[in-house]
Amino acid sequence: MRPLLYIHIPFCDRGKCAYCDFYSVPYEPRQAAALVESYGRELRMTTSHFRTIYIGGGTPSVLSRSAWATLLNACRRHASGAEEWTVEMNPEHVTGTLAHMLKESGVNRISLGVQSFCRQKLRCLGRRHSPSQAAEAVNIVRKAGIQNVSIDLLFGVWEESLKEWRRELAGALTLPLTHLSLYALTYERDTLLGRRLSRGDITPLADDIVAEQYLAAADLLRSCGFVRYEISNFARPGRECLHNLGYWQGFPYLGIGPSAVSFLNGVRMRRTAEVSRYLALDGGAAAVCEREKLPPAYRAREAAAVLIRTSQGIDFAAFRRRYGYDLLNTTRPGLQELVGAGILEWTGSPARPTGVRLTSEGFLRADTASSALLSHT
Ligand code: SF4
């Protein structure tokens, strides 16, 4: 099974977005240059043939042209066998020159952190681009010859009506997109929005309104030819993100960069998040600060909890082949309970099920299914 390659760029320019609790540090050009040099050394010594490459962050698009040249050069030798190579970008950084540079190197998928096409909502979220920059970014990427373009959008933002959300999404769908990731806004404690919430400055939308927004989006996307292949992910047929599918289907992966996680030969490893320490150690195995050998039963539990969030759900025979675990016979009462609650449905016949997946209603309660699978297996 060919592993996936994830490269983490831990920098963001000018502080954090109001909702974000991902690990990132302010962009520092010299540190960034040193970091991509270190990635280059590691990639030159890496012999794996990767199934996919994904450069994420942070904000990869904040890198300078010369840092990009170093990074793309280092990745290029791994790119020929890769089926997909994605780069995450923020709309305000997208230029024709950068898009062409990525295309020339073999990047064939761009994921844009758009979050919204509404000026007021962008301001509330602490994003730095304008709605027109977001639309323009999609067109620049397409014009450079990269056909596979995804955007992230946030919904469930306080004071946002269903009508406004529908209008925003309908506007997004006039763009030449192949993929959308939709996420409900969450108010994490150590974020600006989390602090505003605890001060009482914000009244979050009620859960049923957020659910309504999700269902409206799923309907609209389906009517426009997008397939929901995971709770938050919708793609034109054949344009599903292979990298994320790889995670959900249990492929091994190598994560390079501060705070990056790898999963290889049944061992999960996390690298130090501190950029200066990472640089002092020159990355690689030396930068691993946590190592955990996952017991097979635990690994199977985790895999089931993730896989159930995909539209295909879990095929028991395939799951047994992959994890050596008989999910049906070890968890049947728990699964039956979720089926009874309308969250899951059997595939095959109820008497002889071949698998299990979320019902349409279950897509709103997937966390319940995931937690149950984690504890029941
Ligand atoms: S949302 Fe993205 S751009 Fe904003 S702070 Fe978080 S990682 Fe950086």
With a 6 Å cutoff on the Cβ, whether 16 touches ligand 1 is yes
pLDDT of residue 173: 98
With a 6 Å cutoff on the Cβ, whether 20 touches ligand 1 is yes
17 pLDDT tier (thresholds 50, 70, 90):
very high
The whole-model pTM stands at: 0.96
With a 6 Å cutoff on the Cβ, whether 111 touches ligand 1 is no
- Tell how far the Cα of 124 is from the centroid of ligand 1, in angstroms: 14
- For the cut 50, the answer to whether the pLDDT of residue 211 exceeds it is yes
- For the cut 70, the answer to whether the pLDDT of residue 377 exceeds it is no
- Rounded to the nearest integer, the mean pLDDT of the chain is 96
Spell out the domain ranges in the chain.
4-247, 297-376
Top-confidence residue, 81 or 7: 7
- For the cut 80, the answer to whether the pLDDT of residue 203 exceeds it is yes
CATH number, span 4-247: 3.80.30.20
pLDDT average, residue stretch 260-281:
97
* Residue ID of nearest Cα to ligand 1 atom 7: 58
pLDDT of residue 376: 59
- Tell how far the Cα of 1 is from the centroid of ligand 1, in angstroms: 32
375 pLDDT tier (thresholds 50, 70, 90):
confident
Q: What is the pLDDT of residues 315-361, one digit of tens each?
A: 999 999 999 999 999 899 999 999 999 999 999 988 899 999 999 99
- For the cut 90, the answer to whether the pLDDT of residue 21 exceeds it is yes
Of 176, 113, 170, nearest to 148 (Cα)?
Answer: 176
pLDDT average, residue stretch 81-106:
97
Give the SS3 label for residue 209: helix
Q: Tell which atom from ligand 1 comes closest to the C-alpha of 19.
A: 1
- Tell how far the Cα of 319 is from the centroid of ligand 1, in angstroms: 35
- For the cut 90, the answer to whether the pLDDT of residue 91 exceeds it is yes
- Tell how far the Cα of 90 is from the centroid of ligand 1, in angstroms: 9
With a 6 Å cutoff on the Cβ, whether 128 touches ligand 1 is no
* Residue ID of nearest Cα to ligand 1 atom 2: 58
29 pLDDT tier (thresholds 50, 70, 90):
very high
The pair of structure tokens assigned to 5 is 């390659």
The pair of structure tokens assigned to 290 is 């946590």
Question: Which pairs with CB-CB distance under 8 Å and at least 24 residues apart come from 239-242?
Answer: 239/148, 239/178, 239/179, 240/179, 241/84, 241/86, 241/109, 241/111, 241/150, 241/179, 242/51, 242/52, 242/83, 242/84
With a 6 Å cutoff on the Cβ, whether 148 touches ligand 1 is no
- Tell how far the Cα of 22 is from the centroid of ligand 1, in angstroms: 7
With a 6 Å cutoff on the Cβ, whether 217 touches ligand 1 is no
pLDDT average, residue stretch 289-316:
95
Q: Which CATH number fits domain 297-376: 1.10.10, 1.20.1070, 3.90.550, 4.10.1110?
A: 1.10.10
- Tell how far the Cα of 332 is from the centroid of ligand 1, in angstroms: 41
Mutation probe of ligand 1 site: the residue of 24, 25, 63 with most atoms within 8 A of C-beta = 24
| Residues in the chain, overall count | 377
The pair of structure tokens assigned to 313 is 């759900």
pLDDT average, residue stretch 67-81:
93
With a 6 Å cutoff on the Cβ, whether 58 touches ligand 1 is yes
pLDDT of residue 122: 97
Rounded to an integer, what distance in angstroms lies between the CA atom of residue 326 and that of residue 307? Answer: 15
Q: What is the pLDDT of residues 117-163, one digit of tens each?
A: 999 999 999 999 999 999 999 999 999 999 999 999 999 999 899 99
Identify any residues that bridge with 235 across adjacent strands, giving them in sequence order. 179, 227
- For the cut 80, the answer to whether the pLDDT of residue 49 exceeds it is yes
3-state per-residue secondary structure call for 7-31: EEECEECCCCCCCCCCCCEECCHHH
Identify any residues that bridge with 254 across adjacent strands, giving them in sequence order. 5
pLDDT of residue 94: 98
Top-confidence residue, 329 or 269: 269
Rounded to an integer, what distance in angstroms lies between the CA atom of residue 254 and that of residue 250? Answer: 13
Q: Which helix (H) or strand (E) holds 154?
A: strand 148-155
- Tell how far the Cα of 19 is from the centroid of ligand 1, in angstroms: 9
